[in-house]
Amino acid sequence: MGRKLENSELGRLDVDTFKQAGKSPIILILDNIRSLNNIGSVFRTADAFLVKKIYLCGITATPPHKDIRKTALGATESVDWEYRENIVELITELQRAGAQTIAVEQAEGSIMLNDFEVPTDIEMALVFGNEVKGVSQEVVSTCDSILEIPQFGTKHSLNIAVSVGVVVWDVWNKIQKSPINKKPRKNGA
């Protein structure tokens, strides 16, 4: 068995170095997220995988807020974020800039996450919706594609923060394994 590492042994980036580090081509869009703890958790995941930016839309709260800070553990300081009221306008803007917009939802025509082939040469904007209603039909219809997390139990959904973690990890892992990515990032470096 191995020895548990101390935080000082993990070789983590400080905030200034993180800001200067090359980012993954992943953008996260949170639409109408109610839970401040979920928002904070998404910031932590974004920090862990060098997400380029988080857009907070609709009723999604923005930092600084004590309940976001409680779960983000400082990631609101490292990860770039922006508030946008109108998500459809944002998605259209990102599409015009060349990003592939992907709703993470259970819908007709969705691509199962395990079958998703990551486009490594363009940015991907992953859209996550409200805890109860999910991604709205208007937003699903506006996005370029739909990604679904396969589930096999009795429940029909995962918590938003868990969904972000599962999808970002999978996409990150596929990017790192891509032959186009000649210098895979290891341990956040």
* Concatenated DSSP letters of 134-185: BS-HHHHHHSSEEEE----SS-S---HHHHHHHHHHHHHHHHHH-TT-SS--
| 108 CB neighbour count, 10 Å cutoff | 6
pLDDT score, position 188: 46
pLDDT band of 17, cuts 50, 70, 90: confident
User: What does the pLDDT read at residue 181?
Assistant: 61
40 CB burial (10 A radius; 0-12, 13-18, 19+):
buried
pLDDT tens readout for residues 38-73: 999 999 999 999 999 999 999 999 999 999 999 999
Cis peptide before 64 (omega within 30 of 0): yes
Query: Which pLDDT score is estimated for 60?
Result: 97
Q: What pTM was computed for the model?
A: 0.91
pLDDT above 80 for 182? no
One DSSP character per residue, 64-124 reads S-HHHHHHHTTHHHHS-EEEES-HHHHHHHHHHTTPEEEEES--TTPEEGGGPPP-TTS-E
Radius of gyration for the chain, computed over Cα atoms and rounded to the nearest angstrom: 16
Rounding to the nearest 10 degrees, give the CA dihedral for residues 47, 114, 108, 118: 60
Domains and CATH numbers, the chain: 13-177 (3.40.1280.10)
pLDDT of 169 over the 90 cut? yes
In angstroms, the CA 165 to CA 119 distance is 19
